[in-house]
Structure 1
Amino acid sequence: MISKRIGVVESIITNSEDIDEIKVKIGERVDKAINYPKITGSVNVGDEVLLNTSAIELNLGTGGSHFVIANLNNLESNMTDGGHIMKLRYTPLQVKTFAAEEQESIHHNKINNFKSLNNLPVAVGTLHSMLSPFVAVAKRLDPSKKIAYIMTDGAALPIYLSKNVKELKDKKLIDATITIGNAFGGDYECVNIYTALIVAKEVIKADIVFVSMGPGIVGTGTKYGFSGIEQGYILDAVVSLGGKAIAIPRISFADKRDRHIGISHHSITVLKDIVKSRVTIPINVQDEYKKKRIISQIEDSNIHCLHDVTFVQNDITKDSLDYFDLKVKSMGRGYHEDEEFFKSSGGAATYILEGLI
């Protein structure tokens, strides 16, 4: 199940307290590798490291790097102080975190005494690449709104892997992060989506919440076999806690796979078969030909009877990305190659802010 090799650190590309990008030599071959210092300790040029080489052997895209399991020259590391909630439980790399819900946490009583989200707007996406256009539009429309990002464990587990999150935090476009389930490394750790939403409301005092997995969605070409199916039960969680649930549809007219043209079959499956609550679906498509296809898909799947579909009139996604100097890509495609994909999450932000302003 795991391919392991021993390599030697040849160079360090970038390093920080959270993540190191390094080059490792295995035999005569040099490859990129990722090291998480809090888990596996710091590395230096010349160190021997035990590597998980599975991703490169499978020729994966996202996650296509070796990962350091242990530095044989430095076995010491320190994930966190305090706490007793384990993530990656019962694996050789299980990590200790201090969850916001714990009895020793200063936030325990706030979480325990929670009543309602009081219509807090929560946008739920399926791909990590939806995050940047969403927060760019939201902060462009109203920089004073506090945005919390909840990262699920549907893909990458360490939040450190996301360069998007680092850039968005550095530019103050995200105010706080929460990692849930087996995902870890956020400003706040939570056990599940329910307590994460409560922390966003009661502790962070967020005005808007965005939820999605980290980098690396999984799909199998089957109706239900994709990690983005989590969008359905996350939307239900938002509604059950008294929030305003906004579903960001996956829309593309550039994908080579017909099942992802217009509204992706992933989104149709979630909105038709998985989510049980009535939610809002903003559609941000201005081209009349493309809009007709979207409307046809919505009507054919009966989604317009199950949910509140609304069309966004004024799109500022590209303007917002340019204003904050954000370069976005999804599935290797940039904004100009797949604008409807990025406009979908930008439109969700526009819908929310029009209601808040």
Structure 2
Amino acid sequence: MINYRSGIVKSIINDEKDITIVNVNVEGKVCKAVNYKAFTGEVNVEDEVVLNTTAVDLCLGTGGCHFIIYNHRNKVMESKGPGHIMKLRYTPYQMSCLVTEEEDSPYHNIFNDFKSLDNHVFVVSTLHSMVAPIAAMIKYINKDLNINYIMTDGGALPIAFSNTVRDLKHKEILNKTITVGHAFGGDLETINIYTGLIAAKEILKGDITIISMGPGIVGSGTKYGFTGMEQGYIVDAINNLGGLAVAVPRISFKDLRERHKGISHHTITVLSQITNTRANIVLPYLEKEKEDYIINQISKAKIQEKHNIIFQNGEKIQKAMDKFNLKTSSMGRTIEDDKDYFISLGSVGQYVTSLF
């Protein structure tokens, strides 16, 4: 279930507000480790720490580094700030948060008075690597549009783990963030995706809200066993509350796995079987052979009968990413390695911008 070992911190790689990346000597081998300050406090060189080494021991990509779970120097920690709702409930790391819905929140009454999302635009993606290209494309076309981000609990739970979010906020591409469910660390916290949607529209009041899990989608090579399934019920939640749902397809012709060729089986499964309401699905203009392949996938799964299919040009994505100096990769592939993936995200940004 869990592997843990002791180690000695040898150097600080990077220190941010909520997270520190360090090098730790574990049984004579120097390894990278993550320290979340909310759990284990500040960390210094020569601190003796206990590490969760499970993912590295299993040679996993998702979660594949050590995590500090106890620092012998920090024997006592006192919680700071308001809030009575627990996230990571009934685990040793359960933590109190001030969620927007609770009675102590200044926003409490907003949720009782809520009527509709009034066609607020929500972009529902499945991979964390989709967030930066889509947001960059929107800002490249219209710098005045205000973009916020909802992070679900389908991947990494601490938003501090996302270098992408930190970079996008620093470059003023993203404005504010909301962490929903057991995800934590956003500018706002909510109990579930429904109240997260309401908070995005009623509290943050942006123009566009991008939704995705944090880094580290979980898959199993089976039809239904992946955390990107959340895209389906999020689309339904948006529509049921009166928003406008744009579903981002996962498209690549460079993934060697046949199930992810063209439109990934993840997207096809969600949009053909899981959603119960209509979404706007944006597809890119590509070479004819690739377009025909995608159209055949859409037709075979009868997705066009359930959703609005919109083709858009995403070719400006390279210029958008260059403008903001973004080095995004997905599954280890950059825009130079997998241009179609990034063009598809550019087409989403192009379409969403056209709504304003």
Tell me the C-alpha RMSD between the 2 structures. 1.0
Question: Any idea what the Cα deviations from partners look like across 1:70-111, whole Å, max 9, x if unmatched?
Answer: 101113445541101111100001111110111111111122
- Which amino acid letter does the alignment assign opposite residue 304 of structure 2? H
The amino acid of 1:58's aligned partner reads L
Match of 1:242 in 2: 242
Gaps of 5+ in 2: none
The alignment covers a number of residue pairs equal to 356
Percent of residue pairs bearing the same amino acid type = 50
Q: Helix, strand or coil: the match of 1:334?
A: coil
Q: Secondary structure at the match of 1:42?
A: coil
Match of 2:121 in 1: 121
CA drift at 1:337: 0.8
C-alpha distance in 2, partners of 1:339/1:242? 34
User: Which residue in 2 is equivalent to 1:251?
Assistant: 251
Are 1:121 and 1:245, in contact at CA under 8 Å, matched by a contact in 2? yes
Contact 1:37 1:77 in 2 (8 A): no
1:315 Cα deviation from its structure 2 partner = 2.9
1:131 equivalenced with 2:135 (yes/no): no
Mark the runs of 5 or more structure 1 residues left unpaired by the alignment: none
Matched, 1:17 2:17: yes
Distance 2:255 2:121 in 1: 30
Q: What is aligned with 2:185? A: 185
- Which position in structure 2 is the counterpart of 1:96? 96
> Could you give the per-residue CA deviations for residues 177-196 of structure 1, whole angstroms, max 9, x where no partner exists?
00000000000000011111
Contact kept, 8 Å, 2:127 with 2:213, in 1: the verdict is: yes
Q: Which amino acid aligns with 1:239?
A: N
Is residue 25–residue 31 contact of structure 1 (8 Å, CA) maintained in 2?
yes
What are the within-5 Å matches in structure 2 for residues 1-357 of structure 1?
A: 1-77=1-77, 80-313=80-313, 315-356=315-356
Whole-Å separation in 2 of the counterparts to 1:231 and 1:343: 20
CA contact (8 A) 1:41 1:78 kept: no
Compute the displacement of 1:17 (Å).
2.3
Cα distance change, pair 270–78 in 1 and its aligned pair in 2 (3 A): farther
Q: Specify the code of the residue in structure 1 equivalent to 2:164.
A: N
Q: Report the AA paired with residue 266 of structure 2.
A: H
**C-alpha deviation, 1:343, in angstroms:** 2.1
Kindly indicate whether the alpha-carbon contact (under 8 Å) linking 1:38 and 1:78 is maintained by their aligned counterparts in 2.
no
Give the whole-Å Cα distance in 2 for the aligned partners of 1:17 and 1:80: 15
**Alpha-carbon offset, residue 62 of structure 1:** 3.4
Could you tell me the TM-score, scaled by structure 2's length?
A: 0.98
Shift, 1:286, TM fit = 2.2
Question: Are the counterparts in 1 of residues 279 and 307 from structure 2 also a CA contact under 8 Å?
Answer: yes
Query: SS at the partner of 1:336?
Result: coil
Amino acid in structure 2 at the alignment position of 1:156: A
What is the distance in 2 between the residues matched to 1:85 and 1:146? 29
Given that residues 118 and 242 in structure 1 are in contact (C-alpha distance below 8 angstroms), is that contact kept between their aligned partners in structure 2?
A: yes
| Distance (whole Å) between structure 2 residues aligned to residue 298 and residue 288 of structure 1 | 15
Distance 1:31 1:207 in 2: 42
Contact 1:41 1:76 (C-alpha < 8 Å) held by counterparts: no
CA deviation after TM superposition for structure 1 residue 348, in Å: 1.3
Change (3 A) 1:346 1:131: same
Determine helix, strand or coil for the equivalent of 2:102: coil
SS in 2 for 1:329: coil
Q: Any idea what SS the aligned residue of 1:337 has?
A: coil
